[in-house]
């Protein structure tokens, strides 16, 4: 650089009045700017960044399954990456050691949310918990969820709903058994988990009603799909207007209007009924009661209530169905593990005709199966994106302010430095290991996030997928259909990226009733 600059200066001295003077001055200016920028980068010591293209930066490297693509990039360039996604910057964290440092030393700085247009539209400018910016009001709303909506007692009070919905699913599978057919287990699991969540939250089921609720279920699924879609303006803020021209914004607003009308109707219906039975209250009842008694530390207006209800539904249904779907796909591919977990469940249930809630606490190996499923197949492998509230230093690297942060739990859960045979399904790795838990005693297993932004609804989700899993394992044996063709594998384990990462192909299995001898 110094050689180039001195050569240009020499030419300027010999031809001060020529056109070359102007050209050389421009070149000198550009080179000085480049040199200054590089010097700043060196001083700032930014994290490593893969080579990028003009305009789009590293967007082309994300692929259709970003968690897998980012895992590969991290393996090549290191566990802390700074990417350029259009006009925005993103930090990718792919090691448990870095997550631990963030959680213990920089949790507040990493507690903001990086929200896209869809989240701002659907949640009234992120007026809830999952997508809201970090601050005093967010803490009050999260406290409400933890103490009033998702408390241990509240989750237990919903056990009759779980029992009723799972019983209907089991009866439906028995009908299929009588016909000797295979069952679309993915579809049944999704319907059951959706109905459990919708009854606990809204007081009504969606999937089988004939009064228009099916259309609402479709709208909710459309919303969950749009929630993960980035508009042009999300990546290129200067081109924000493009989303209006392409109709992206109008599609979001149409979905929002349908959801808002539904939620308004649900709230008004609950106001008319005024449910006073504490044992049968859904989330709408609880929020209306708190609003009426003025027992909250923040204003619970209509928009806030609707945002909170929608927030809870999104977090409570998709995660459960995705986890159970992957669990049964892994068990179908590992018949010995399937047999072992079924023997445990059936031994504990004995000759009872119904699985009791207390039985679940004794099913230690089944819990290991669930944990191993969450390790290999975290529903949200990149968690919900965060945003740095201020610049921080991590491992000697400078992290700028307002950078979107992706925590790649998929890469951490499959890190061979942390897990033996990291790519294999081995539930036994969790037997007798009380240090690895859903609540992040260490940072090797983080399917529900960590720190202040960890999921407050863990107990709600765990209660649902443990009860559904136990019943499906207890009352049926499962066989892979003979027409399966997956190049030697029993079940195709290809992924599809959405709000949760689900199986690309629905899971079809042949159920056979288990007869108690």
Annotated binding-site residues read 455
77 class by beta-carbon count within 10 Å (0-12 exposed, 13-18 middle, 19+ buried): middle
Token pair for 279? 């044992």
Token pair for 358? 């207390």
Q: What is the CA radius of gyration of the chain?
A: 26
Tokens 């199986």 locate to 503
What is the spatial distance between Cα 462 and Cα 334, in angstroms, rounded to a whole number? 23
From the DSSP assignment, how many helices (H) and strands (E) are in the chain? 20, 12
DSSP 54: T
Which residues does residue 387 pair with via DSSP β-bridges, in sequence order?
112, 404
| H-type alpha helices, 274-376 | 283-293, 302-333, 335-349, 357-360, 364-376
CB half-sphere exposure, 509, CA atoms < 13 A: 29
Its sign, for the CA torsion 293, 299, 304, 308, is: negative
In angstroms, what CA-CA distances link 2 with 23, 28, 194?
18, 11, 66
Under DSSP, is residue 405 helix (H, G, I), strand (E, B) or coil? Answer: strand
Binding residues for heme, by number, are 455
In angstroms, what CA-CA distances link 141 with 306, 307, 513?
13, 11, 45
């Amino acid at each position: 650089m110094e050689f180039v600059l001195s050569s240009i200066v020499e030419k300027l001295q010999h031809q001060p009045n020529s056109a070359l003077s102007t050209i050389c001055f421009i070149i000198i200016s550009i080179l000085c700017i480049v040199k200054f920028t590089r010097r700043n980068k060196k001083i700032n010591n930014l994290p490593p960044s893969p080579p990028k293209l003009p305009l789009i930066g590293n967007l082309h490297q994300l692929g259709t399954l970003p968690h897998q693509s980012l895992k590969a990039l991290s393996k090549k360039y290191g566990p802390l990456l700074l990417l350029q996604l259009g006009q925005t910057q993103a930090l990718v964290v792919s090691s448990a050691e870095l997550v631990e440092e963030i959680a213990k030393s920089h949790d507040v700085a990493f507690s903001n949310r990086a929200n896209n247009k869809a989240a701002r539209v659907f949640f009234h400018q992120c007026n809830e918990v999952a997508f809201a910016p970090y601050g005093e009001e967010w803490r009050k709303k999260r406290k409400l969820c933890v103490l009033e909506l998702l408390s241990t007692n509240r989750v237990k009070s919903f056990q009759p709903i779980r029992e009723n919905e799972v019983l209907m699913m089991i009866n439906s599978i028995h009908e299929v058994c009588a016909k000797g057919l295979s069952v679309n287990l993915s579809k049944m699991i999704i319907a059951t988990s959706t109905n459990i969540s919708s009854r606990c939250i809204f007081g009504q089921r969606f999937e089988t009603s004939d009064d228009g609720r099916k259309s609402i279920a479709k709208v909710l699924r459309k919303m969950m799909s749009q929630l993960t879609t980035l508009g042009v303006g999300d990546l290129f803020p200067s081109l924000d207007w493009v989303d209006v021209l392409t109709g992206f914004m109008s599609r979001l607003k149409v979905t929002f209007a349908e959801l808002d009308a539904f939620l308004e109707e649900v709230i008004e219906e609950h106001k008319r009924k005024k449910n006073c039975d504490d044992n049968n209250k859904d989330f709408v009842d609880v929020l209306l009661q708190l609003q009426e008694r003025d027992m909250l530390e923040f204003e619970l207006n209509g928009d806030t209530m609707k945002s909170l209800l929608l927030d809870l539904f999104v977090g409570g249904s998709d995660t459960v169905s995705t986890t159970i779907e992957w669990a049964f796909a892994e068990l179908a591919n590992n018949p010995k593990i399937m047999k072992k977990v079924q023997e445990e469940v059936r031994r504990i249930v004995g000759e009872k005709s119904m699985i009791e809630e207390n039985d679940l606490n004794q099913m230690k190996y089944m819990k290991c199966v669930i944990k191993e499923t969450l390790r290999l197949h975290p529903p949200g492998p990149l968690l919900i994106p965060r945003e740095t509230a201020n610049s921080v230093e991590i491992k000697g690297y400078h992290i700028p302010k307002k950078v979107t942060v992706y925590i790649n739990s998929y890469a951490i859960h499959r890190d061979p430095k942390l897990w033996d045979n990291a790519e294999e399904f081995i539930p036994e790795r969790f037997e007798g290991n009380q240090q690895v838990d859903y609540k992040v005693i260490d940072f090797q297993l983080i399917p529900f996030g960590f720190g202040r932004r960890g999921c407050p609804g863990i107990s709600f989700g765990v209660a649902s997928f443990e009860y559904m899993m136990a019943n499906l394992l207890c009352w049926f044996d499962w066989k892979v259909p003979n027409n399966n063709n997956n190049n030697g594998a029993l079940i195709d384990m290809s992924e599809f990226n959405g709000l949760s990462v689900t199986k690309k192909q629905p899971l079809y299995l042949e159920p056979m009733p288990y007869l108690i001898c």
